Amino acid sequence: MDILSIIWIIVMPFIGSLVGLTYMGIGRKIIARVQHRYGPPIFQNVVDVIKLYSKRSAITHGVMFHLAPNIAITGTISTLMFVPVLVGENAISLFSFQGDLILILYIMVFGCLAMALGAGQSGNPNSAIGVSRGLTQMFGYEIPFVIALVTLMVQNETTSVQNIIAAQDSFMHWNIFQSPFAFVAAMFAFLGMMGNKPFDVPFAPAEIASGPPSEFGGKYLALMQTNRGMFAFVKLVLYVDLFLGGATNFAILLVKTFAFYLIPLFVGIVNPRFRTEQAMTFFWKWPTAIGLAGFLLVLL
Amino acid sequence: METIPFILSILFGAAVLAYLVGKFNYILKVGVSIVGLIWAGWLFLGLQGTLSSFTFKMLGFDIIWRINPLSWLFGMIIFGLAILTAIFSGSYMKGKERVDFYCFAMCITVASMFGIVVSGDLLSFFFFWEIMTWSSFLMVIYYRYEAQAAGLRYFVMSMIGAYAMLTALLIVYAQLGSFLFDVLSAGWSGFSLTLQIWLFVLFVIGFAVKAAMMPLHTWAPDAYTISPAPFTALFSGALSKMGIYGLALLFFVFGAGKLASSVITIQGVSLPGYILAWFGAITALLATFKAIVQDDAKKLLAYSSIGQLGYIILGFSLSSSMGVTAGLYQAVNHSIFKGMLFLAVGAVFYRTGTRKLSEMGGLITRMPYTFFVVLLGIITVAGMPPLSGFTGKWLIYEALIEKHLIFLAVVAFGASTAAFLYLYRIIFTIFLGQRPKRFDEVKEVPWMMRAPMLILALLTVYLGFYPYQLLDLINQAQVYMGIAPFDLSHSMLFNSYGNVSTITVMNIVAVVFFIVFILFNTLYKRSRKVGLKDIHTSGEVPGEEINLHYAVDFYQPFARGVSIFLKRSVSKIYASLADNLEGLFDVMRYVYTGNGQTYALFVVIALAFLFLVKDFLV
């Protein structure tokens, strides 16, 4: 392993969280403009996180509470390590040759579990309600998501992300055109995954006081926000890798990921929140049907 | 003396001795059974790689007891778990009634399971199978009156399985004139197709009852819930695996796998296997749904166990190299993690006296070791990467995707995601959140109970690092079963589709965790610790006595969403079937009135009828 790739391994988590948090800031600005407000500066989220890191004191509710943000960010960084960020000549593949899509699917949940455990030990009933809702919703969107991924894996006869990217060598070979049904199903799942409205039942600020993170403050919240930004980035990069053929340099990566980021944002601006069971069963209707239609195409 | 009969006599001897000396001293009876099990287990460990066999004639039938890599693998599951649960029981059963009876039944169960895996002929196989049913039935009805219904259900379902198997066995004997496995595997292909299918169905029913495959699972939730906790671990971890062992025999030793070539195949999987795979997948999904809405910790785990066995059946029925590896790996893994979880829930029950999830909470500070075990347990069940569960999940998905069985793959993925829900429920409602006042003085369980759980927990970490150690043993079993072994490397899981380096994953997770941990704890001063009641409640201040633990109806929205699956139940179908049969038997009652004069009338009528037709009869 050469020096350059080691540097990327160290630097990538920082870039990831920075990009993710900035996207969120831009998202806030866009939402504000739609609602005829001025909105915060686009680096507001980054500034907030830096402020939180500089807080000297924090309170804890117990061991799991203390460890949760720590384990959560471990899970997210580990996921990032298996997602190829750039491909082509200046590839940044991190450890993505040593793990495949199934690994990514499962290691993604690692951080979420840690968050859920930490939220559980906070003793706040709102946090537990949030987790219960979040898991319920996760089971909902996982179905179309898995349908889409299985379609891709069977179609390309590989489970490795690198090979899936390699198969999308030209514009018309992108999976968004090759398997459009899978793409639509995966996009629906993406709405649930990003947790924007109408799928923000786990956080629901007005109902359960932002749910799982409600007891976290100071350095804990800072770490969790960093984690949130990075996790958003990881998911975006994964989607770009799977459907848009990856990116060859950072400019293209930013354009593609931001395009994906806007979709759930725009859907969220104009939609109210679902009820919890609706947020789950919604995914089993049209998204699943579309995904299954894609399946039939693969089988034929 | 030959090793195999020697091990059997140790186990049966320990059972009887524990029962006899148990009248005098508690330590003696538990000690006798533990020593017996460890001794037998030690001797068995030495049989690895050997092909020793022991033959004798009984009533004119050849009886063969032998060891091969497959039976060694399953034998190790049995002995490993049995020893640990016996040690656990040593502390758990203290002060309980009829411990001698408990030790007796435990040793007999282990002996019978050992008998099953060493049997080389159908006769002794069936004989040990029935001893196993009978002795585990004794354990199910340990808490006598409250366990009656569960015990009866277990026995009836086991009988259905046993009669199905007995029928198959007699058909085989009628056809071949021998009970030996070797004769059967040579003669299987000579059977007609109809007969092959009949035998396949009968054997599958026999084995699926023990493996609790839907729709034959109805005994399992209650029987697992009601039996004493250490035994439940053995019940779910080892005893239900005998059904899986049976399936392995059926497919690869009896020769039902040859059925594949003669009938239709779907994506390269034989039709019987494909149907069985669907049974397994549906079992995995529906049992998981059921588990999510349970309020009884052991019942939740019981349904979870049914679901996990569904996965194993799914793996086996693919009959591919990878599928069988997945099935066997998951079988061993399931024994480890379900042993952990059942023991941990037993430990909680031991201290709190309740299994109701809605009554507990906040035990993490009181029982940290048990919490740690449950934490590792749920990570393993969920199949998350650093621990051993991931390898099992990976193998199953790769096997399904390799065969292009996409619908099965989606159902399997869905069931695995749904499992997160009940796993979080079990850890949250017991260990996290606010603690009810009456559990403030609860203590951690004694070391005798902690140690077995911790050993199993460390095993999952070890296998997470080095899954190839287990896969290597599985490969030996696969060679014996006549399946191409799964390609192995010391640090990689790989096939033609993809690869995962378990060591890299483990290292990344560990390195990142420790870097963040050290930065996080050295750059900042110690956080101030506040109680769990001191929380943000939007200005409203609840009194000290109010417990805000969210545990009742934890997944109410989920239950509402999937109510269509939950409201149907196989038990209800069986109950309505029983009602209808009762109606039928009421009609019979008109004939069998129980009145002597009516019967005399029947006799007279029959004789009269015979007189009338006597000319035609001759």
Using the predicted structure, report yes or no on whether residue B276 has a pLDDT greater than 60.
Answer: yes
- Cβ within 8 Å, pair B499-A100: yes
Mean predicted confidence (pLDDT) in A94-123: 83
CB atoms within 10 A of CB B573: 12
- What is chain B's Cα-based Rg? 27
- Cβ within 8 Å, pair B548-A125: yes
Joined together, the tokens standing for residue A72 give 């959560």
Mean predicted confidence (pLDDT) in A168-183: 83
Domain of residue A236, residue span: 3-299
Q: What angle do CA A117, A119, A122 make, to 5 degrees?
A: 110
**Could you tell me the maximum CA-CA distance found in chain B, to the nearest angstrom?**
109
Nearest CB to B525; choose among A56, A124, A295: A56
Q: Tell me, what's the pLDDT at A140?
A: 86
- Cβ within 8 Å, pair A123-B362: yes
- Pick the closest to residue B85 from B30, B9, B16 (CA basis): B30
A110 contact B CB<8A: yes
Asked if B469 and B587 sit in the same domain, the reply is no
Beta bridge partners of B53: B66
Chain A interface, best mutation among B430, B527, B538, B563, by max A CB count within 10 A: B527
- Cβ within 8 Å, pair A139-B525: no
Identify all chain A residues contacting B498, using CB atoms and an 8 Å cutoff: 100-102, 158-160, 163
Stretch 297-336 of chain B: residues touching chain A, C-beta under 8 Å: none
Identify all chain A residues contacting B362, using CB atoms and an 8 Å cutoff: 123
Q: In this predicted model, what pLDDT tens digit does every residue of B203-257 receive, in sequence order?
A: 888 888 888 887 888 888 888 888 888 888 888 888 888 888 988 888 887 776 6
In Å, how far are B5, B43, B54, B418 from B2, measured between CA atoms? Answer: 6, 11, 7, 49
Q: Tell me, what's the pLDDT at B443?
A: 84
Mean predicted confidence (pLDDT) in B494-509: 79
Identify all chain A residues contacting B528, using CB atoms and an 8 Å cutoff: 57-60
Asked if B574 and B564 sit in the same domain, the reply is no
Domain of residue B424, residue span: 265-483+545-568
Mean predicted confidence (pLDDT) in B518-544: 77
- Pick the closest to residue B80 from B108, B60, B110 (CA basis): B110
A25: Cβ–Cβ under 8 A, 6 or more apart, which residues? Answer: A40, A41, A42, A43, A44, A45, A46
B5 and B65 Cβ atoms separated by less than 8 Å: yes
**Which own/partner contact pairs does A24-28 have at CB distance under 8 Å and 24+ positions apart?**
A24/A228, A24/A229, A24/A232, A26/A258, A27/A261, A27/A265
Mean predicted confidence (pLDDT) in B536-558: 77
Using the predicted structure, report yes or no on whether residue B336 has a pLDDT greater than 70.
Answer: yes
Residue B529 in any domain: the answer is: no
- Chains A and B form CB pairs within 8 A to the count of 229
Using the predicted structure, report yes or no on whether residue B373 has a pLDDT greater than 80.
Answer: yes
B396: Cβ–Cβ under 8 A, 6 or more apart, which residues? Answer: B311, B314, B315, B323, B326, B330, B412
Q: What is the DSSP letter of A212?
A: G
Using the predicted structure, report yes or no on whether residue B261 has a pLDDT greater than 60.
Answer: no
Consecutive H or E run containing A188: helix A180-194
Query: Cα B247 vs. chain centroid, distance in angstroms?
Result: 14
Beta bridge partners of B42: none
Asked if B575 and B564 sit in the same domain, the reply is no
The chain B residue lying nearest A113, using CA atoms, is B424
Q: Which of A147-161, B419-433, B537-551 has the lowest mean pLDDT?
A: B537-551
Identify all chain A residues contacting B436, using CB atoms and an 8 Å cutoff: none
Distance CA B273, CA B403 (A): 13
B362 contact A CB<8A: yes
- HEC sequence for B447-495: HHHHHHHHHHHHHHHHHHHCHHHHHHHHHHHHHHHCCCCCCCCCCCEEC
Joined together, the tokens standing for residue B583 give 């109606």
Distance CA B11, CA B33 (A): 8
- Cβ within 8 Å, pair B527-A60: yes
A44: Cβ–Cβ under 8 A, 6 or more apart, which residues? Answer: A25, A28
Asked if B226 and B302 sit in the same domain, the reply is no
Query: Cα A181 vs. chain centroid, distance in angstroms?
Result: 21
Consecutive H or E run containing A65: helix A63-81
In Å, how far are A109, B9, B105, B351 from B30, measured between CA atoms? Answer: 43, 18, 12, 21
How many helical (H) and strand (E) elements, i.e. helices and strands, does chain A have?
13, 1
Asked if B310 and B430 sit in the same domain, the reply is yes
B548 contact A CB<8A: yes
Using the predicted structure, report yes or no on whether residue B258 has a pLDDT greater than 70.
Answer: no
B561 contact A CB<8A: yes
The chain A residue lying nearest B393, using CA atoms, is A102
A175: Cβ–Cβ under 8 A, 6 or more apart, which residues? Answer: A152, A164, A168, A182, A183, A242, A243, A244, A245
Joined together, the tokens standing for residue B5 give 């009969």
Chain A interface, best mutation among B285, B398, B413, by max A CB count within 10 A: B413
Distance CA B412, CA B393 (A): 9
Distance CA B174, CA B443 (A): 61
> How distant is the Cα of A16 from the closest Cα of chain B, in angstroms?
15
A115 and A72 Cβ atoms separated by less than 8 Å: yes
Identify all chain B residues contacting A135, using CB atoms and an 8 Å cutoff: 420-421, 424, 555
Chain B interface, best mutation among A77, A94, A103, by max B CB count within 10 A: A103
Distance CA B481, CA B159 (A): 29
- Pick the closest to residue A151 from A130, A117, A173, A179 (CA basis): A179
B505 contact A CB<8A: yes
Whole-number percent of chain A with pLDDT over 90? 6
Q: In this predicted model, what pLDDT tens digit does every residue of B413-427 receive, in sequence order?
A: 888 888 888 888 888
Task: Tell whether the torsion through CA atoms of B530, B534, B535 and B538 is positive or negative.
Answer: negative
Q: Tell me, what's the pLDDT at B618?
A: 57
- Cβ within 8 Å, pair A160-B393: no
Q: Which of A101-115, A142-156, B87-101, B272-286 has the lowest mean pLDDT?
A: B87-101
Mean predicted confidence (pLDDT) in B480-497: 74
B387 and B461 Cβ atoms separated by less than 8 Å: yes
Number of domains present in the structure of chain B = 3
Q: Tell me, what's the pLDDT at B263?
A: 64
Beta bridge partners of B56: B63
Where residue B259 falls among pLDDT bands split at 50, 70, 90? low
- The answer to whether the bond into B215 is cis (omega within 30° of 0) is yes
B489 contact A CB<8A: no
Joined together, the tokens standing for residue B611 give 């007189």
Q: Tell me, what's the pLDDT at B551?
A: 78
Residue B201 in any domain: the answer is: no
Distance CA A65, CA B365 (A): 12
Q: Tell me, what's the pLDDT at B393?
A: 87
Asked if B227 and B270 sit in the same domain, the reply is no
Q: Tell me, what's the pLDDT at B41?
A: 82
Q: In this predicted model, what pLDDT tens digit does every residue of B118-173 receive, in sequence order?
A: 888 888 888 899 888 888 888 888 887 887 888 888 888 888 888 888 888 888 88
Where residue B597 falls among pLDDT bands split at 50, 70, 90? confident
Q: What angle do CA B81, B83, B86 make, to 5 degrees?
A: 105
- Where do runs of H (alpha helix) occur along B93-179? 99-118, 122-140, 148-176
Beta bridge partners of B296: B356
Asked if B47 and B76 sit in the same domain, the reply is yes
A113 contact B CB<8A: yes
AA letter at B61: F
Distance CA B48, CA B64 (A): 18
Q: Tell me, what's the pLDDT at B611?
A: 81
Using the predicted structure, report yes or no on whether residue A76 has a pLDDT greater than 80.
Answer: yes
B267 contact A CB<8A: no
**Which own/partner contact pairs does B27-33 have at CB distance under 8 Å and 24+ positions apart?**
B29/B99, B29/B100, B29/B103, B30/B86, B30/B89, B30/B90, B30/B93, B30/B99, B30/B103, B32/B103, B33/B86, B33/B103, B33/B106, B33/B107
Where residue B262 falls among pLDDT bands split at 50, 70, 90? low
Asked if B157 and B21 sit in the same domain, the reply is yes
AA letter at B168: A
AA letter at B67: I
Query: Cα A114 vs. chain centroid, distance in angstroms?
Result: 16
ipTM score assigned to the predicted complex = 0.90
A207 contact B CB<8A: no
Computed over every residue of chain B, the mean pLDDT equals 83
Asked if B560 and B603 sit in the same domain, the reply is no
The chain B residue lying nearest A293, using CA atoms, is B407
Q: Which of B81-95, B330-344, B491-505 has the lowest mean pLDDT?
A: B491-505
Distance CA B176, CA B603 (A): 42
Q: Tell me, what's the pLDDT at B617?
A: 62
Joined together, the tokens standing for residue B234 give 């053995």
Using the predicted structure, report yes or no on whether residue B367 has a pLDDT greater than 80.
Answer: yes
Joined together, the tokens standing for residue B249 give 């025999």
Using the predicted structure, report yes or no on whether residue B260 has a pLDDT greater than 60.
Answer: no
Asked if B330 and B442 sit in the same domain, the reply is yes
A275 contact B CB<8A: yes
Q: pTM of the entire structure?
A: 0.88
Residue B70 in any domain: the answer is: yes
Distance CA A232, CA B269 (A): 40
Asked if B363 and B227 sit in the same domain, the reply is no
A54 contact B CB<8A: no
B256 and B272 Cβ atoms separated by less than 8 Å: yes
Whole-number percent of chain A with pLDDT over 70? 99
In Å, how far are A122, A202, B615 from B539, measured between CA atoms? Answer: 17, 22, 101
Strands A59-60 and B528-529: parallel
Query: Cα A151 vs. chain centroid, distance in angstroms?
Result: 20
Nearest CB to A107; choose among B384, B421, B525: B384
A129 contact B CB<8A: yes
> How distant is the Cα of B369 from the closest Cα of chain A, in angstroms?
13
Mean predicted confidence (pLDDT) in B69-95: 86
> How distant is the Cα of B248 from the closest Cα of chain A, in angstroms?
27
Number of domains present in the structure of chain A = 1
Chain A interface, best mutation among B380, B401, B434, B540, by max A CB count within 10 A: B401
Identify all chain B residues contacting A9, using CB atoms and an 8 Å cutoff: none
Mean predicted confidence (pLDDT) in B390-395: 87
> How distant is the Cα of A161 from the closest Cα of chain B, in angstroms?
9
A16 and A229 Cβ atoms separated by less than 8 Å: yes
A81 contact B CB<8A: yes
Q: Tell me, what's the pLDDT at B490?
A: 67
Strands (E), chain A: 59-60
Asked if B295 and B227 sit in the same domain, the reply is no
> How distant is the Cα of B504 from the closest Cα of chain A, in angstroms?
7
Q: Is B56 helix (H, G, I), strand (E, B) or coil?
A: strand
Beta bridge partners of B422: none
More confident residue, B255 or A192: A192
Consecutive H or E run containing B57: strand B53-58
Phi first, then psi, for residue A24 (nearest 5°) are: -65, -40
> How distant is the Cα of A206 from the closest Cα of chain B, in angstroms?
11
AA letter at B108: I
- Pick the closest to residue B360 from B422, B440, B414 (CA basis): B440
Stretch 131-150 of chain A: residues touching chain B, C-beta under 8 Å: 131-133, 135-136, 138-140, 142-143, 146-147, 150
Using the predicted structure, report yes or no on whether residue A269 has a pLDDT greater than 60.
Answer: yes
AA letter at A80: L
AA letter at B339: G
- HEC sequence for B228-265: CHHHHHHHHHHHCHHHHHHHHHHHHHCCHHHHHHHCCE
Q: Tell me, what's the pLDDT at B257?
A: 66
Look at chain A and count its residues: 300
Domain end (from B224, B240, B256): B240
Beta bridge partners of B121: B180
